[in-house]
Amino acid sequence: MNTENVDILIIGAGPSGSVAAGYLQKQGAKIKVVEKQKFPRIVVGESLIPRVMDHFNEAGLFEALDSYGFEKKPGARFIRGKEICIFDFSNKFGEGWDWTWQIPRADFDKAMTDELQRKGVDIAFETEVTNVEFNGTDSITTIKDKNGTFSQIHAKFVIDCSGYGRVLPRILKLESPSKLDPHSAIFTHVKDINRPDGVEGTQISFDIIETEVWLWVIPFSNGNTSVGIVGPTEYIDKLSATANTEEAIKNAIKLSDFYVKRFDKLPFEFDPIHLKNYSVAVSQFYGEGYALTGNSTEFLDPVFSSGVCFATESGILAAKLALKQINGEEVNWEKEYTEYMKYGIDVFTTYVKEWYTGNLQELFYHQPENPDVKRKICAVLAGYVWNKENTFVAKHHNIIKNMAYMIRENRMDS
Ligand code: FAD
């Protein structure tokens, strides 16, 4: 069997694997990326948040990505019947990027890997990791290419960026149940021929159908728009009696007074994809000789578009720490990796939970708006969830719940 030696092996070439590879290539590490699929491939995760721009920059990918003209996302709109709440990232609390992109991931991920290959990164597409064996921090990974030929890679460190492939969590039995209630989604792309001119046409929006059910509308610069419905699994299952995803998403679009005219009669670009019980978790984020990143660790919920951001945040950080370790420096993985990542995940988990309890929605739609509250929540939605100067980060456990309680009490008093 063929064997090769690398410093760091990266499993998966999604956002997490791509930023890890970009960063490590810049530092001169000997790396290899193994990706199961052929790109472009369809994948969900099309609304980014500004924090990711820091990661694309650090990975040396920003300029190439910027040249593609992906739709710019300066904020996000949340619709609830006649009530509208718009967050503008330029009005957020603290430092950070004021904009990001809304992207068809097939094109975006291909753009990232094209740039990586142009820079000389070795990416084996259509090649699947089938097994990994560790001996201390050293590992032997078995891969199978599209012709069914097996070979082995010896690495000093493995970064698992395999998303829902969850390669190491499966092999090492690290999967654990999510703390969030089971939710599901169905999505597709439409050729957006009824798209209005101006901002309305490109405005990314989340239309709240019921407290726990919402429709996403993500317009792209290629003229297509992603439309998806999210809700408790039971609710999503009932959208079609015959489990027909096309019927389900058509029924979902009919539920949106705001969007029904724009999307009702449009044909789909691909068969709608059903993602059932998408929240996942793991019992540990790292081990001797490996780190898990992105969706191979935790995925919470799409409501605040945090998935790609956690994937790139963890991808870059794991790459930095892995390099430090193979260069002989001490790394405290528990503190520098798990505790850091868990802090941000914990903040977003509160926001996701408080969204579905309805408490956060109270704050979004409360009138008159409190500009200070809005700026601070906006910074969280932009992904700056490690900035403890923001009280909506530092006190996330109680602040939303308490403010929503006060709003309800005041309403009852008046
Ligand atoms: P991925 O992007 O999934 O990449 C993993 C790669 O690993 C894949 O290309 C896969 O082919 C490869 N791989 C898998 N197994 C193997 C193997 N055995 N060998 C080699 N390669 C392998 N996030 C957002 O930021 N914004 C959103 O709007 C958003 N919407 C979402 C909506 C829904 C319904 C869901 C479920 C998720 C959404 N997400 C969103 C989350 C987002 O999809 C993920 O968080 C993000 O794609 C994770 O990136 P990743 O790099 O970890 O994994």
pLDDT 10s digits, 121-155? 999 999 999 999 999 999 999 999 999 999 999 99
323, pLDDT greater than 90: yes
Q: What spacing in Å lies between the alpha carbon of 94 and ligand 1's midpoint?
A: 29
Domain residue limits, the chain: 2-72+96-177+279-343, 183-275, 345-413
Whose C-alpha lies nearest to ligand 1, atom 53? 163
Instruction: Tell me the pLDDT tens digit for each residue of 242-278.
Output: 999 999 999 999 999 999 999 999 999 999 999 999 9
What pLDDT band is residue 346 in, cutting at 50, 70 and 90?
A: very high
Q: Which ligand 1 atom is nearest residue 44's CA?
A: 43
What mean pLDDT is predicted for residues 52-57?
A: 98
What would the pLDDT profile of 88-124 be if each residue is shown by its tens digit? 999 999 999 999 999 999 999 999 999 999 999 999 9
- Say how far apart CA 84 and CA 86 lie, in whole Å: 7
Query: Per-residue pLDDT averaged across 63-71, rounded?
Result: 98
Residue of 354, 352, 371 lying closest to 303 (CA atoms): 352
What's residue 350's pLDDT? Answer: 97
If we measure between CA atoms, which residue out of 169, 144, 125 comes closest to residue 298? Answer: 169
> How many Å lie between the centroid of ligand 1 and the Cα of residue 10?
14
Instruction: Report, as an integer, the average pLDDT of 60-76.
Output: 98
The DSSP symbol for 324 reads: H
CATH level 3 topology of 2-72+96-177+279-343: FAD/NAD(P)-binding domain (3.50.50)
pLDDT of residue 413: 84
Which positions ≥6 away from 221 have C-beta within 8 Å? 69, 70, 71, 202
Ligand 1 pocket mutation, candidates 10, 36, 186, criterion most atoms within 8 A of CB: 36
Structure tokens at 46: 């099309």
Cα of 163 vs centre of ligand 1, distance in Å, is: 5
Please tell me the predicted confidence (pLDDT) of residue 412. 84
Which among 161, 275, 166, 163 has a CA at the least distance from the CA of 216?
275
Atom of ligand 1 at shortest range from CA of 12: 7
**183-275 architecture in CATH?**
2-Layer Sandwich (3.30)
Give the pLDDT band of residue 179 (cuts 50, 70, 90). Answer: confident
- CA nearest ligand 1 atom 34, residue: 185
Other Cβ atoms less than 10 A from the Cβ of 216: the count is: 23
Phi, psi of 40, deg, nearest 5? -75, 145
Cα torsion at 12, 123, 27, 53 (round to 10°)? -50
**At 17, is the pLDDT very low, low, confident or very high (cuts 50, 70, 90)?**
very high
How high does pLDDT run on average in the chain?
97
| Ligand 1 residue neighbourhood (C-beta within 6 Å) | 11-17, 34-37, 43-48, 128-129, 161-165, 167, 185, 275, 278, 294-295, 299, 302, 305, 307-309, 311
- Give residue 364's identity as a one-letter amino acid code: F
Span 366-387, pLDDT tens digits: 999 999 999 999 999 999 999 9
Of 131, 159, 295, 309, which is best to mutate to test ligand 1, by the most ligand atoms within 8 angstroms of its C-beta?
Answer: 295
Q: Is the pTM of this model over 0.95?
A: yes
Which residue's CA is the nearest one to ligand 1's atom 4?
14
User: Residue 356 pLDDT > 80, yes or no?
Assistant: yes
Determine the average pLDDT of the residues in 334-348. Answer: 97
Could you tell me which residues come within 8 angstroms of residue 178 by beta carbon, excluding any fewer than 6 positions away? 279, 280, 281, 298, 299, 300
| Separation of first and last alpha carbons in the chain | 77
Whether 195 shows a pLDDT value over 90: the answer reads yes
- What is the percent of the chain with per-residue pLDDT over 90, rounded to a whole number? 98
pLDDT of residue 332 exceeding 90: yes
Which residue has its alpha carbon closest to ligand 1 atom 27? 45
* 414 pLDDT more than 80: no
Query: In this predicted structure, what is the pLDDT of residue 75?
Result: 98
Q: Whose CA is nearest to atom 30 of ligand 1?
A: 45
Residue nearest to atom 40 of ligand 1 (CA): 45
